[in-house]
């Protein structure tokens, strides 16, 4: 059966070819197969590493569940493609349900002399995520009025807002990590009993620092790493753009604060600035390895002052993110200083309630879900919903101001 499929994937229809051109691959529902044009040889098609990301986006016209792939012959130049699935399409819905049951995706890499069939196993964590996202997509599809539902428009919006490589950022690939594990294991077998015992003692001490007392902190911080990474890259972009132009950067900061942040967030920012200054002063002291006794004493004072302020005033990831959020660090792509609230603006203009608009924003923004720590809007506390609704309202207000549009203050 596998050989039959591999031999017949070249029989692509005109629509399949168009999908290959647009999405980088084509879904063949009759064969339960995803076809990928592969311009390399058959050997590279058999050895290429396949990585999968399951994406969910909620747009005003339709929910969008996509399977995105990074296929790497070499690490330097991977190939990206994705398949957007229409939840209301019977064949699409059946396929998603089927791969949830079997936990595998059949991929045909179209190369010469004939296609190479690959099977990608979905890990248990990926299956759990897909099941959750599929259920969410179905619920939102069912709640979208028939006259409003427009899958093609949702796909077009996805194409303009999503950058696939951002979802595959990693330092080591899965195969490289497996090689590293095997390498350390082989090397460790050569160690003496004394070295092994010393390593075990150190490892136990290191792990004890994080678990179980700080398990929650580590988990929450780990969730924030993608956003932090984008924020740091954006800082690098700003530094490069405004190099030797402090006056231009100063004006940018003024404009960003004036146009982007709600008033109370400005007040929060002002309250956190002394802590930020202490952190930078402390880092400056630590940077100087040859510090004098007087400088070391100043460093100790800074550290005590920092600890005192954190103890008395509190310091959270949320507070530290307020500064970043002023400059577009709420999960957008690097170099985009404003979050796009056009979809939320349209929903409000259509008469949707603020709760519905906030729910749309929450479902459509993975960073928001990471920040609040729950998958679905209904799981938020009353206070969290209030905070989110206010943030979305002010984001729409700023969007309307930038675009020269009226604020949609409908009842």
Strand order through the sheet with 49-58: 49-58, 63-72, 79-85
Per-residue pLDDT tens over the stretch 11-65:
788 999 999 999 999 999 999 999 999 988 999 999 999 999 999 998 988 999 9
Give the pLDDT confidence score for residue 335 in this predicted structure: 35
211: left (phi over 0), alpha (psi -120 to 50) or beta: beta
118: left (phi over 0), alpha (psi -120 to 50) or beta: beta
Q: Which parts of 317-381 fold into alpha helices (H)?
A: 317-325, 342-349, 354-364, 366-372
Give the three-class secondary structure for 53. Answer: strand
Per-residue pLDDT tens over the stretch 233-264:
888 888 888 888 888 888 888 887 777 555 66
Residue 313 — pLDDT band, cuts 50, 70, 90?
low
Neighbour-count burial of 223, counting CB atoms closer than 10 A to its CB (0-12 exposed, 13-18 middle, 19+ buried):
middle
Angle (CA) 15-16-20 rounded to 5° is: 115
Any idea what DSSP says for residue 29?
T
| β-strand partners of 53 | 68
Percentage of residues of the chain with pLDDT beyond 70:
76
Task: Answer yes or no: is pLDDT of 199 > 70.
Answer: yes
Q: Are 45 and 53 in contact (CB under 8 A)?
A: no
SS3 helix, strand, coil % of the chain, rounded to 5?
60, 10, 25
Name the nearest CA neighbour of 328 among 398, 276, 377: 398
Per-residue pLDDT tens over the stretch 322-377:
444 444 444 333 333 457 888 999 999 888 999 999 999 999 888 788 778 888 88
298 vs 318: CA distance, rounded Å: 29
> Per-domain residue ranges for the chain?
2-166, 342-403
Relative to beta strand 116-121, strand 104-110 is: antiparallel
Own/partner pairs for 203-207, CB < 8 Å, 24+ apart?
Answer: none
Cβ count within 10 A of residue 64: 23
Give the pLDDT confidence score for residue 9 in this predicted structure: 47
65 vs 55: CA distance, rounded Å: 6
Mean pLDDT of the chain: 80
Q: How many residues does the chain have?
A: 411
Give the pLDDT confidence score for residue 294 in this predicted structure: 61
354 vs 351: CA distance, rounded Å: 9
Relative to beta strand 104-110, strand 79-85 is: unpaired
Give the three-class secondary structure for 116. Answer: strand
Give the three-class secondary structure for 261. Answer: coil
| β-strand partners of 375 | none
Task: Answer yes or no: is pLDDT of 2 > 50.
Answer: no
Cβ count within 10 A of residue 50: 18
Give the pLDDT confidence score for residue 204 in this predicted structure: 85
CB within 8 Å of 349: residues ≥ 6 apart: 408, 410
Give the three-class secondary structure for 138. Answer: helix
5: left (phi over 0), alpha (psi -120 to 50) or beta: alpha
Cβ count within 10 A of residue 19: 20
Give the three-class secondary structure for 390. Answer: helix
Cβ count within 10 A of residue 183: 10
202 vs 192: CA distance, rounded Å: 15
Neighbour-count burial of 216, counting CB atoms closer than 10 A to its CB (0-12 exposed, 13-18 middle, 19+ buried):
exposed
Q: Please list, residue by residue across 311-336, b when 16 or more beta carbons sit within 10 angstroms of its beta carbon and e when fewer do.
A: eeeeeeeeebbbbbbbbbbbbbebee
Higher per-residue confidence, 283 vs 387: 387
Higher per-residue confidence, 215 vs 131: 131
Give the pLDDT confidence score for residue 260 in this predicted structure: 59
Backbone angles phi, psi at 322, to 5 degrees: -60, -45
6 vs 77: CA distance, rounded Å: 25
């Amino acid at each position: 059966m596998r050989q039959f499929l591999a031999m017949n994937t070249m029989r692509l229809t005109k629509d399949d070819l168009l999908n290959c051109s647009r999405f980088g691959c084509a879904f063949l529902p009759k064969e339960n197969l995803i076809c990928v044009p592969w311009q390399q040889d058959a050997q590279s098609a058999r050895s290429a590493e396949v990585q999968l990301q399951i994406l969910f986006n909620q747009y005003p016209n339709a929910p969008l569940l996509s399977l995105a792939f990074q296929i790497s012959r070499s690490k330097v130049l991977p190939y990206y493609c994705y398949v957007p699935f229409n939840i209301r399409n019977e064949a699409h819905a059946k396929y998603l349900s089927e791969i949830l049951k079997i936990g595998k995706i059949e991929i045909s890499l179209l190369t010469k002399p004939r296609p190479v069939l690959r099977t990608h196993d979905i890990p248990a964590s990926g299956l759990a995520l897909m099941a959750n996202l599929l259920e969410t997509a179905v619920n939102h599809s069912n709640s979208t009025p028939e006259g409003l539902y427009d899958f093609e428009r949702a796909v077009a919006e996805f194409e303009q807002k999503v950058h696939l490589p951002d979802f595959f950022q990693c330092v080591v690939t899965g195969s490289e990590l497996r090689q590293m594990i095997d390498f350390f294991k082989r090397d460790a077998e050569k160690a003496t009993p004394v070295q092994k015992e010393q390593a075990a003692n150190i490892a136990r001490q290191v792990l004890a620092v994080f678990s179980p007392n700080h398990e929650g902190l580590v988990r929450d911080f780990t969730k924030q790493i993608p956003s932090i990474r984008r924020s740091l890259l954006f800082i690098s972009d700003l530094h490069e753009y405004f190099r030797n132009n402090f006056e231009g950067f100063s004006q940018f900061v003024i404009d960003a604060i004036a146009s982007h942040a709600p008033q109370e967030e400005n007040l929060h920012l002002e309250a956190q600035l002394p802590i930020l200054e202490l952190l930078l002063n402390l880092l400056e002291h630590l940077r100087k390895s040859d510090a004098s006794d007087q400088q070391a004493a100043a460093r100790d004072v800074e550290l005590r002052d920092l600890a005192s302020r954190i103890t008395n005033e509190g310091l959270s990831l949320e507070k530290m993110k307020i500064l970043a959020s002023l400059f577009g660090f709420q999960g957008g792509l690097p170099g985009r200083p404003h979050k796009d609230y056009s979809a939320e603006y349209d929903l409000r203009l259509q008469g949707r309630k603020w709760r519905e608009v906030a729910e749309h924003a929450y479902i459509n923004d993975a960073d928001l879900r990471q920040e609040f720590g729950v998958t679905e809007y209904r799981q938020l506390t009353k206070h969290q919903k209030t905070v989110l609704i206010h943030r979305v309202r002010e984001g729409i207000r700023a969007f309307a101001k930038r675009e020269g549009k009226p604020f949609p203050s409908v009842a």
